[in-house]
């Protein structure tokens, strides 16, 4: 018996070795191969999620790091929820829908606006925004609606937008714009950055298209204009920079470039292009930011995270998940701004092939790393993570190859089923000097909420 067990183990090890020598595990040459690859990637990613286990918290990846509970901050759970919503929409596989619905509803917080008190110490406008964008995605792709006694996807997206449009989130420093963090006690409250304002812009653009409510579009336009006016968007190169401090009137611009910053603005601009029926200014913005995105973040048509990728171990856990969002968002741009399709689709396919080529790690021979360009698997442990972001990137890239076979994001006029919450989403137009015109909900900052939230390795102390 011992001999038979050893033989079986030896055979499996030999088979794995031969498989890795023969090439990558995942194939994307046909639709059937894409579906099978996405299915396996989704399964392996779910193994890193503990929210569906007894006694664990639904909706979040293990963390936060500051508490010694794991590698991941709260927001990345929301991003993972969005990745699986897209996975369902693009492949039709509903295996994880109950897990995603449970996680999305568990993290809404007492105000049903994705502000759970136990995550106040790392609550940024961008964190809340990512959960709001996942709820918006659920509405757009007609993800199965929650039970009637629970908040609905559209209502959750509206509530997030509404809290961020409130007067307590906006002030006159730097002539407007959202701060990075929400509580005044959080490190980073003195910083106004692109990602916080980009999430708000993106959500506003999508709500405008979904509801046909012009006030959302006004807020989106004003937010993009603010980013342009503070030069977070370079007026010549269209590179997108990270942010600046209010004590310097946001003129001390941190010129770090992150792929998700520009991709988020690009996708929001594509929604505005679609909403305005091809308005020239939005077409230009889409084209210029697309050019910049591909120039800076897709050398050799392969996703590459500029600020950190050249040095193993230099990317933060957050940065290690950016490639997947970029692939997902670019695939939507190609769909709703069709003049970009012939440019975007070949790049995403080449990049995805590079992604799957390096998924040759672990005992299964299919574990994914982060460094796509090299074609060689680098274990996520090199970067100090369990690999959830790295696995999520490849799942997003592979499943997004099917975007062209699905319908465009729906609206309430084209078959959308999600119901809005008029108490959370009722807006009045922006008046002169009234930056809070769209808001009816206010946020009471939780006193004593201390903590550090440092998702990136750059010094924001100024």
User: What's the confidence (pLDDT) of residue 448?
Assistant: 35
The counts of H helices and E strands in the chain are 14, 2
| Under 8 Å between Cβ of 318 and 365 | no
Domain segments of the chain as ranges: 31-425
User: What's the confidence (pLDDT) of residue 311?
Assistant: 87
Low-confidence ranges of the chain (pLDDT < 70): 1-24, 422-423, 425-462
User: What's the confidence (pLDDT) of residue 313?
Assistant: 87
Residue with tokens 């089923």: 417
| Under 8 Å between Cβ of 302 and 373 | yes
DSSP strand E in 172-309: where? 191-193, 243-245
Task: Choose among 178, 208, 112: nearest CA to 423.
Answer: 112
Domain 31-425 architecture: Alpha/alpha barrel (1.50)
Tokens of 314: 């230099």
C-alpha dihedral sign at 64, 180, 455, 450 = negative
Tokens of 220: 């989106």
> In angstroms, rounded to a whole number, what is the distance separating the alpha carbons of residues 290 and 295?
8
- Give the 3-state secondary structure of residue 367: strand
Write down the H helix ranges in 107-178: 125-140, 153-165
> In angstroms, rounded to a whole number, what is the distance separating the alpha carbons of residues 254 and 184?
21
User: What's the confidence (pLDDT) of residue 430?
Assistant: 52
- Summarised one tens digit per residue, pLDDT across range 424-443 is 734 444 544 444 333 333 33
Who contacts 353 (Cβ-Cβ below 8 Å, separation ≥6)? 28
Beta-bridge mates of residue 194 = none
């Amino acid at each position: 018996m011992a001999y038979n067990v050893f033989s079986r183990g030896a055979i499996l090890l030999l088979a794995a070795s031969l498989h890795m020598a023969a090439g990558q595990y995942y194939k994307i040459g046909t639709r059937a191969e894409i579906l099978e690859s996405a299915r396996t990637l989704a399964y392996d990613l779910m193994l890193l999620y503990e929210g569906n286990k007894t006694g664990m918290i639904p909706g979040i990846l293990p963390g936060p790091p500051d508490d010694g509970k794991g590698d991941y901050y709260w927001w990345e759970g929301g991003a993972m929820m969005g990745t699986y919503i897209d996975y369902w929409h693009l492949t039709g596989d509903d295996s994880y829908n109950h897990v995603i619905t449970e996680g999305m509803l568990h993290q809404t917080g007492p105000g049903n606006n994705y502000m759970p008190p136990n995550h106040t110490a790392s609550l940024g406008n961008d964190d809340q925004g990512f959960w709001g964008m996942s709820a918006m995605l659920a509405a757009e792709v007609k993800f199965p609606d929650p039970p009637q006694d629970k908040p609905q996807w559209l209502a959750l997206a509206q509530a997030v937008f509404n809290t961020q449009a409130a007067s307590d989130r906006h002030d006159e420093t730097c002539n407007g714009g959202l701060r990075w963090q929400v509580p005044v006690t959080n490190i980073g409250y003195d910083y106004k950055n692109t990602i916080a304002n980009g999430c708000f812009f993106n959500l506003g653009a999508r709500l405008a298209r979904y509801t046909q409510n012009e006030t959302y579009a006004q807020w989106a336009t004003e937010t993009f204009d603010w980013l342009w006016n503070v030069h977070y968007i370079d007026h010549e190169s269209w590179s997108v920079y990270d942010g600046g401090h209010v004590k310097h009137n946001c003129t001390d611009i941190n010129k770090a470039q992150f792929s998700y910053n520009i991709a988020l603005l690009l996708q929001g601009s594509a929604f505005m292009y679609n909403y305005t029926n091809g308005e020239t200014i939005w077409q230009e913005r889409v084209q210029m930011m697309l050019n910049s995105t591909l120039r800076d973040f897709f050398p050799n048509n392969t996703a590459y995270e500029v600020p950190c990728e050249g040095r193993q171990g230099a990317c933060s856990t957050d940065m290690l998940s950016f490639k997947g969002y970029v692939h997902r968002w670019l695939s939507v741009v190609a769909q709703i701004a069709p003049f970009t399709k012939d440019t975007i689709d070949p790049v995403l396919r080449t990049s995805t092939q590079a992604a799957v080529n390096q998924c040759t790690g672990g005992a299964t021979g299919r574990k994914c790393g982060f460094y796509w360009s090299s074609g060689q698997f680098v274990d996520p442990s090199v970067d100090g993570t369990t690999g959830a972001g790295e696995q999520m990137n490849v799942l997003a890239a592979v499943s997004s190859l099917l975007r062209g076979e699905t319908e465009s994001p729906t609206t309430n006029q084209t078959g959308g089923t999600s119901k809005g919450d008029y108490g959370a989403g009722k807006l009045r137009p922006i008046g002169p000097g009234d930056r809070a015109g769209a808001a009816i909900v206010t946020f009471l900052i939780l006193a004593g909420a201390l903590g550090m939230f440092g998702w990136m390795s750059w010094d924001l102390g100024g």
